[in-house]
Amino acid sequence: MVKINPSEITPEHVYISRRKFMVGLGALVAGSLALSACGKQDPLPSPTPARANGTATLSPSANTDELGDKLTSYDAITNYNNYYEFSIRKEQVARLAQDFKTSPWAVQVGGLVHKPKTFDLDDLFKFTQEEQIYRLRCVEAWSMVIPWAGFPLAKLLQEVEPMAKARYVRFETLYDPEQMPGQKSGGYNWPYVEGLRLDEAMLDLTLLATGLYGKPLLPQNGAPVRLVVPWKYGFKSIKSVVKIDLVEEMPTSLWMAAAPREYGFYANVNPGVSHPRWSQATERRIGENKRRQTLKFNGYAEQVAHLYTGMDLKQWY
């Protein structure tokens, strides 16, 4: 169980675009707010997938994912955070991030595209916001189940029209050491950079998240917009995105540069491939006392395994 000091629980942040967020989610938000931030919920109906391709698009009244795994509590999700731009200590991130300014905000999308564009918050909220309950598996072998709100990354990429020679998508986090004290550390090559293959980015599972539990994202969770790639280890899901470029060559991520032997480009959840310093066969679900078996591709194999046909996933880790 995560032990959270009550004094560290961050109050809900005030967002200029909150009204648009709430309007965009509509009934979904109203239902989600019924879920207690303390994690004590009455029994609720089982979720019903809404997409033909198996993506877990669930009712906001659901209290489990499509495998029947219970949602992680709001307090745990918002107070146990890997976000090195603020701190390497998970329980300190929320406190250090509480004054982080998330508006105005812009995401510049360019590179190998026909129609480069800069999207402000109003632009991002014009995309239909939907709820996706996804499992999050950290490379450190802990996990959560999170009800995100957002929209498929593919919708945004379609607007800028990728060129034929674009093969990868490179993402970049805000660089602002005055707001993000962890970026003053010389241990990493800031800003945070991540990448996906274009076909991975265009998959319907890949989400640009703007909220969770029916509320706008808090800074410690990557506000105002972050990537969520549920079949990969959590470090692939870059936070506070300000730049997206389509490129021809594979991007070098921050973690690839820092420790290439430990963190490869693909970072697919794979219980059969150990991290050099620990096993990935099991995981600790936050809120549970015992470990559970890790699922290949984090349980999303049906949707994503075809992307890696013929690849040696021990080599392409």
In a domain, 317, yes or no: no
In a domain, 173, yes or no: yes
Q: What is the CATH number of the domain that holds 191?
A: 3.90.420.10
Tokens of 264: 């490869």
pLDDT in tens, the chain (317 residues): 444 343 333 333 333 344 444 444 443 433 333 332 233 333 222 333 333 233 333 334 589 999 999 999 999 999 999 999 999 999 999 999 999 999 999 999 999 999 999 999 999 999 999 999 999 999 999 999 999 999 999 999 999 999 999 999 999 999 999 999 999 988 899 999 999 999 999 999 999 999 999 999 999 999 999 999 999 999 999 999 999 999 999 999 999 999 999 999 999 999 999 999 999 999 999 999 999 999 999 999 999 999 999 999 999 99
Domain range enclosing 164: 12-308
In a domain, 300, yes or no: yes
Looking at the structure of the chain, the number of domains it has is 1
In a domain, 253, yes or no: yes
**14 CB-contact burial (10 Å; exposed 0-12 / middle 13-18 / buried 19+):** exposed
Identify the CA nearest to 136 among candidates 4, 299, 305: 299
Q: Where are the alpha helices (DSSP H) in the chain?
A: 18-25, 27-32, 74-79, 93-97, 121-126, 153-160, 198-202, 254-258, 301-304
How far is it, in rounded angstroms, from Cα 174 to Cα 240?
A: 6
In a domain, 264, yes or no: yes
In a domain, 1, yes or no: no
Sign of CA dihedral 89, 139, 150, 250: positive
pTM of the full structure: 0.83
Identify the CA nearest to 18 among candidates 170, 129, 156, 118: 129
Which residues 6+ apart lie within 8 Å of 153 measured at CB? 169, 201, 202, 206, 207, 208, 227
Tokens of 95: 């406190």
How far is it, in rounded angstroms, from Cα 29 to Cα 51?
A: 19
Which residues 6+ apart lie within 8 Å of 310 measured at CB? none
Decide: 264 and 312 in contact? Cβ < 8 Å: no
Q: What per-residue string of b and e applies to 105-118 under the rule 16 or more CB within 10 Å gives b?
A: bebebebbbeeeee
In a domain, 81, yes or no: yes
In a domain, 314, yes or no: no
